[in-house]
């Protein structure tokens, strides 16, 4: 890219990739995001959604082929009933590169042409926008009651002639205007949007008034920053940075919300008396909380159930006592069993048991040995009769023993049942954190209920006597505990729900952590890349502005230094560095009004002449008011350089500008604007390059001090320059108005080296046109061609005055085409 080329998308992508390759910290995933951000919002959104962990960096998009924007020149500005112009007046301009000075005194109406052009193209006027409402209210010309209108003629490359019109009906306000555009051969289109110049007019504003010139440095630091930053040509990079910033903010918003909610939850949990809150608070205090554990606390899963006071309180709600019928039945059974058992004398039962045991042994002896003497008494005999009696007695004894045993078993079962019912009533353990009024009565009832009984009668009596009181005390405690627990759970449930919601959000944020890290890295890189590109382009802009300042700073001891972008957001500004006699200083603080205007021009001109601008024209309204004569000369040199490839129109009431143009021998057209009664404005040609060459030729021819041989050698060159200047005007105007690209027109002109070829271009568009028949039709054509042809090489061979007049007629003829 050369020093005068503007960065295009291909350059921006290439430069960003170069910076990315040099950044060892930039991951492949972040590189993908950078490339996607350079493309579009949709590409970036898709890249963020895609899992790139195992992917590869895609090939960078092919840089788009950049083409120069279609250019446009101004052919005319026709104004009626607007500002200082009453009856219709037209400023006719030459639609090709070159300098045109529109001269006229203050109040002549010349600035009305500039304001009309500005209003037609931009829909506003800088002069009015910075003044009180009275300026915009008195826009109609006081001496013209008919409808007002503006017609701007344009020559668009590739399109041809285009007209932009602005019409007001009688009595309509400034804003009640009808704007339209009509291209050659087409119909009128409402509005000016079809020109496609809305954004270019913001970036490369080609119209600068004296008021705007003075305001460029006074509109605030951010406005100047934005105006210069927008023309650097790195918009693709700044757009990518904005996209990454937006997506980073979008991804970071949930993370910030989760972090903020975590802080609020910790406050809420710390203030809670619920032991689950303490558990959750402890988990949330950790650097990376265990989300599963937090969720368990919030949802009340069994593994995370508390075991302290809350568990005991919940246990009290489940306190139960046996059924009344069961207790009553157990008490009755215990009494009956005890009474039955008592009815059997303990001693009789024991004697019967022993006697039965002796009889069994005697019977066994008899079975084993037959009739033998009684081993107990010795007097009787253990015979068959004795055996029969003994077996009958033994049967009776066994029956007595069995009755005794059954009574005992019944009593034992009754006791177990009664004791089981006593033990079935759990102790109402006290809950320290929860003061329950029913706790003490219930504990007292339980203490009596569960106290060991002295005997069966006492146990049975206690079952009957204490049950109702126990049941009532436990019911009251159970109800009170349930109420307290419900109140406690009512307080905890919203916290638990909020905690569970936070867990869900935190999980989502954790899932986005990789993407967020990649986006943040891409955003940091892109910010640094934009800073680097901006610095590079500002350096280029600085070089151009300093070149212009060098031409404008004649006799000034202030030298313009760097132009640096500084700050971000609302603090963004442009730092203008200057040196005064070699000492560093802030530019704005050490410059005079004239120097400030020159500085504003040094900043405006590079902006208005960027290669990306579709405007092949610059219009400057009274730019030299505050300049001293030396700066005016420098300004004319700057204008001459610009006019090499731009249509430069300068409106001025200052005679110093036209004088400098003439004194420096600059090729410029001069138009003179005058205003007579009732706002009648007249535009007349002053002089143009062809006319000035002829004037110089006549001056030399009439000057007796110039030797004759010098006249014969010099005059043909001046005449040739006059013819070529006129031919160039005709050819450029015709081709550009036909829609031919300016670069093509210039190239064809440069390729036509000979005057006859250039004359052929003006006459027919063909450099090889045969001029024989054309030359013979008018008597002055042949001698005029001889003067500018062979005469330019061999010298003039005829009367100088007559030769110049022949050439003058040829120039006038060309002008009429």
In the chain, what are the domain boundaries? 72-238+533-586+594-686, 689-815
Confidence of residue 584 (pLDDT cuts 50, 70, 90): low
Average pLDDT, the chain: 82
Q: What is the pLDDT of residue 350?
A: 57
Across 202-228, b (16+ Cβ under 10 Å) vs e yields: ebbbbbbbbbbbbbbbeeebbbbbebb
Among candidate residues 778, 776, 782, 784, the one with its CA nearest the CA of residue 808:
784
212/623 Cα distance (integer angstroms): 10
Could you write out the DSSP letters of every residue in 514-554?
HHHHHHHHHHHHHHHHHHHHHHHHHHHHHHHHHHHHHHH-T
Among candidate residues 78, 588, 497, the one with its CA nearest the CA of residue 294:
497
**Structural contact between residues 802 and 717, judged by C-beta atoms closer than 8 angstroms:** no
Q: CB count, 10 Å around CB of 586?
A: 12
pLDDT beyond 70 at 67: no
Q: CB count, 10 Å around CB of 559?
A: 17
**What is the layout of strands, in order, in the sheet containing 98-103?**
207-208, 617-621, 647-652, 98-103, 668-676, 680-687
* Separation of CA 322 from chain center: 72
Q: What is the pLDDT of residue 199?
A: 80
Q: What is the pLDDT of residue 812?
A: 93
Token pair belonging to 246: 């937006």
pLDDT beyond 80 at 476: yes
The set of residues, in sequence order, having a beta carbon less than 8 Å from that of 292 and lying 6+ positions away, is none
221/527 Cα distance (integer angstroms): 21
Least confident of 29-33, 181-185, 385-389: 385-389
Q: What is the pLDDT of residue 68?
A: 53
Token pair belonging to 416: 């177990």
- CA angle, corner 444, sides to 442 and 446, nearest 5? 70
pLDDT beyond 60 at 55: no
* Residue 483 to residues 95, 336, 478, 492, 765, Cα–Cα distance (Å): 94, 42, 9, 14, 105
**Structural contact between residues 402 and 321, judged by C-beta atoms closer than 8 angstroms:** no
**Structural contact between residues 277 and 267, judged by C-beta atoms closer than 8 angstroms:** no
Pairing assessment for the beta strands 573-580 and 617-621 based on DSSP bridges: unpaired
3-state SS, 629-654, equals HHHHHHHHHHHHHHCCCCEEEEEECC
Token pair belonging to 509: 């944020």
364/391 Cα distance (integer angstroms): 11
Quick: pLDDT tens for 168-218. Answer: 998 888 888 999 999 888 899 998 888 888 888 887 889 987 777 666 666
Find the mean pLDDT for residues 147-158.
Answer: 91
pLDDT beyond 80 at 245: yes
Find the mean pLDDT for residues 495-502.
Answer: 81
- CA angle, corner 623, sides to 600 and 541, nearest 5? 30
296/304 Cα distance (integer angstroms): 6
Helix (H) or strand (E) holding 148: strand 148-156
Find the mean pLDDT for residues 303-329.
Answer: 76
The residue with tokens 């602005």 is 166
pLDDT beyond 80 at 143: yes
Q: What is the pLDDT of residue 591?
A: 66
Among candidate residues 587, 309, 330, 549, the one with its CA nearest the CA of residue 439:
309
At the fourth CATH level, the homologous superfamily of domain 72-238+533-586+594-686 is P-loop containing nucleotide triphosphate hydrolases (3.40.50.300)
The residue with tokens 């000369």 is 633
The set of residues, in sequence order, having a beta carbon less than 8 Å from that of 280 and lying 6+ positions away, is 265, 269, 294, 297, 298, 499
Among candidate residues 429, 152, 226, the one with its CA nearest the CA of residue 309:
429
482/490 Cα distance (integer angstroms): 12
Helix (H) or strand (E) holding 558: strand 558-566
The set of residues, in sequence order, having a beta carbon less than 8 Å from that of 144 and lying 6+ positions away, is 80, 81, 85, 86, 87, 678, 679
pLDDT beyond 90 at 640: yes
Quick: pLDDT tens for 214-243. Answer: 666 666 667 777 777 776 778 888 899 999
pLDDT beyond 80 at 598: no
Confidence of residue 618 (pLDDT cuts 50, 70, 90): very high
102/111 Cα distance (integer angstroms): 9
Q: CB count, 10 Å around CB of 14?
A: 15
795/710 Cα distance (integer angstroms): 9
Quick: pLDDT tens for 643-666. Answer: 999 999 999 988 888 878 877 778
Quick: pLDDT tens for 436-468. Answer: 888 888 889 898 898 888 888 888 888 888 889
The set of residues, in sequence order, having a beta carbon less than 8 Å from that of 135 and lying 6+ positions away, is 127, 128
Among candidate residues 169, 182, 171, 165, the one with its CA nearest the CA of residue 119:
165
Mapping DSSP to helix (H, G, I), strand (E, B) and coil, where does residue 485 land? helix
Find the mean pLDDT for residues 676-680.
Answer: 85
Confidence of residue 57 (pLDDT cuts 50, 70, 90): very low
- CA angle, corner 474, sides to 472 and 476, nearest 5? 70
Find which of 256-260, 713-717, 728-732, 806-810 is predicted with most confidence, using mean pLDDT: 806-810
Quick: pLDDT tens for 506-546. Answer: 888 888 888 888 999 999 999 999 989 888 888 887 888 88
Residues of the chain with pLDDT > 70, as a percent, come to 83
Find the mean pLDDT for residues 615-621.
Answer: 93
Mapping DSSP to helix (H, G, I), strand (E, B) and coil, where does residue 345 land? coil
Residue 802, CB half-sphere, CA atoms under 13 Å: how many? Answer: 9
Phi, psi values for residue 719, rounded to 5°: -65, -40
The residue with tokens 């009648």 is 680
Q: Which bin fits 566, alpha (ψ -120 to 50), beta or left (φ > 0)?
A: beta
Token pair belonging to 108: 């002549």
Mapping DSSP to helix (H, G, I), strand (E, B) and coil, where does residue 158 land? coil
394/357 Cα distance (integer angstroms): 8
The residue with tokens 């500004």 is 573
Token pair belonging to 705: 């001090």
Q: What is the pLDDT of residue 60?
A: 47
Task: Supply the DSSP symbol for 571.
Answer: G
Phi, psi values for residue 58, rounded to 5°: -70, 160
Could you write out the DSSP letters of every residue in 718-771?
HHHHHHHHHHHHHHHHHHHHTT--HHHHHHHHHH--SHHHHHHHHHHS-TT---
Find the mean pLDDT for residues 745-758.
Answer: 91
Task: Supply the DSSP symbol for 560.
Answer: E
Find which of 392-406, 623-637, 744-758 is predicted with most confidence, using mean pLDDT: 744-758
The residue with tokens 């006027």 is 125
Across 20-33, b (16+ Cβ under 10 Å) vs e yields: beebeebbebbbbb
Q: What is the pLDDT of residue 53?
A: 46
**Structural contact between residues 75 and 153, judged by C-beta atoms closer than 8 angstroms:** yes
Q: What is the pLDDT of residue 213?
A: 66
């Amino acid at each position: 890219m050369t020093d005068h080329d503007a960065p295009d998308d291909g350059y921006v992508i290439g430069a960003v990739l170069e910076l990315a390759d040099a950044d060892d910290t930039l991951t492949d995933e972040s590189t993908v995001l950078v490339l996607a951000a350079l493309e579009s919002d949709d590409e970036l959104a898709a890249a963020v959604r895609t899992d790139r962990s195992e992917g590869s960096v895609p090939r960078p998009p092919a840089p788009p082929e950049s083409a120069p924007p279609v250019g446009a020149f101004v052919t005319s500005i026709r104004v009626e009933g607007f500002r200082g112009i009453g009856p219709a007046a037209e400023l006719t301009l030459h639609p090709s590169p070159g300098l045109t000075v529109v001269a006229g005194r203050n109040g002549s109406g010349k600035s009305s042409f500039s304001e009309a052009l500005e209003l037609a193209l931009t829909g506003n006027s800088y002069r009015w926008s910075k003044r009180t409402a009275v300026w915009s209210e008195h826009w109609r010309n006081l001496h013209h009651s008919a409808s007002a209108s503006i017609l701007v003629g344009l020559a668009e490359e590739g399109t041809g002639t285009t007209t932009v019109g602005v019409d007001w009906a009688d009595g309509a306000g400034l804003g009640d205007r009808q704007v339209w555009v009509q291209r050659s051969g087409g119909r009128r289109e409402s509005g000016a949007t079809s020109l496609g110049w809305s954004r270019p007019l913001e970036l490369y504003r080609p119209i600068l008034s004296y008021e705007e010139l003075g305001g460029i440095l006074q509109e605030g630091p951010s406005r100047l920053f934005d105006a210069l930053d927008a023309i650097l040509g790195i918009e693709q990079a700044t757009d990518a940075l904005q996209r990454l910033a937006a997506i980073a903010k979008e991804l970071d918003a949930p993370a910030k919300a989760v972090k903020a909610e975590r802080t609020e939850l910790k406050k809420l949990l710390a203030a809670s008396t619920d032991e689950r809150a303490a558990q959750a608070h402890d988990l949330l205090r950790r650097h990376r909380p265990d989300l599963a554990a937090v969720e368990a606390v919030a949802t009340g899963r069994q593994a995370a159930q508390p075991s302290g006071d809350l568990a005991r309180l919940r246990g009290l709600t489940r306190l139960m006592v046996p059924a009344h019928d069961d207790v009553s039945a157990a008490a009755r059974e215990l009494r009956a069993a005890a009474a039955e058992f008592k009815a059997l004398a303990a001693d009789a039962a024991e004697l019967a048991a022993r006697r039965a045991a002796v009889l069994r042994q005697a019977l066994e002896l008899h079975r084993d040995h037959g009739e033998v003497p009684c081993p107990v008494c010795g007097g009787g005999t253990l015979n068959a009769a004795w055996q029969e009696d003994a077996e009958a007695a033994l049967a009776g004894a066994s029956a007595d023993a069995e009755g005794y045993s059954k009574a005992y078993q019944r009593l034992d079962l009754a006791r177990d049942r009664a004791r089981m019912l006593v033990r079935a009533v759990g102790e109402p353990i006290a809950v320290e954190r929860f003061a329950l009024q029913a706790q003490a009565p219930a504990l007292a009832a339980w203490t009596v209920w569960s106290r060991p009984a002295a005997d069966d009668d006492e146990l049975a009596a206690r079952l009957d006597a204490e049950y109702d009181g126990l049941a009532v005390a436990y019911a009251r405690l159970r109800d009170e505990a349930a109420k307290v627990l419900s109140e406690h759970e009512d307080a905890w449930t919203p916290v638990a729900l909020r905690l569970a919601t936070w867990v869900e959000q935190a999980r989502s944020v954790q899932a986005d952590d990789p993407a967020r890290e990649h986006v943040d890295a891409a955003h940091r890189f892109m910010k640094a890349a934009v800073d680097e590109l901006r610095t590079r382009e500002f350096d280029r802009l600085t070089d151009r502005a300093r070149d212009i300042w060098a031409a404008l700073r004649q006799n000034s001891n202030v030298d313009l230094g760097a132009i640096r972008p500084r700050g971000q957001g609302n603090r963004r500004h442009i730092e203008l560095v200057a040196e005064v006699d070699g000492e560093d200083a802030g530019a704005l603080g050490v410059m005079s009004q004239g120097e400030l205007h020159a500085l504003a021009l040094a900043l405006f001109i590079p902006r208005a002449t960027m290669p990306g601008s579709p405007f092949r024209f610059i219009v400057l309204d009274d730019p030299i008011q505050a300049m001293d004569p030396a700066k005016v000369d420098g300004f004319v040199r700057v204008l001459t350089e610009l006019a090499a490839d731009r249509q430069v129109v300068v409106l001025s009431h200052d005679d110093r500008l036209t004088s400098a143009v003439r004194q420096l021998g600059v090729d410029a057209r001069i138009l003179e604007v005058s205003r007579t009664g009732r706002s009648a404005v007249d535009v007349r040609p002053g002089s143009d390059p062809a006319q000035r060459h002829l004037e110089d030729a006549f001056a030399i021819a009439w000057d007796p001090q110039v030797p004759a041989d010098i006249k014969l050698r010099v005059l043909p060159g001046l005449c040739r320059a006059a013819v070529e200047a006129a031919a160039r005007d005709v050819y450029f105007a015709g081709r550009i108005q036909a829609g031919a690209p300016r670069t093509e027109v210039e190239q064809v002109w440069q390729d036509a080296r000979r005057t006859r070829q250039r004359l052929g271009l003006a006459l027919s568009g063909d450099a090889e046109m045969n001029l024989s028949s054309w030359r013979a039709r008018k008597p002055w054509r042949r001698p005029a061609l001889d003067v500018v042809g062979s005469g330019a090489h061999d010298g003039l061979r005829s009367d100088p005055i007559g030769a110049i007049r022949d050439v003058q007629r040829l120039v006038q003829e060309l002008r009429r085409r």
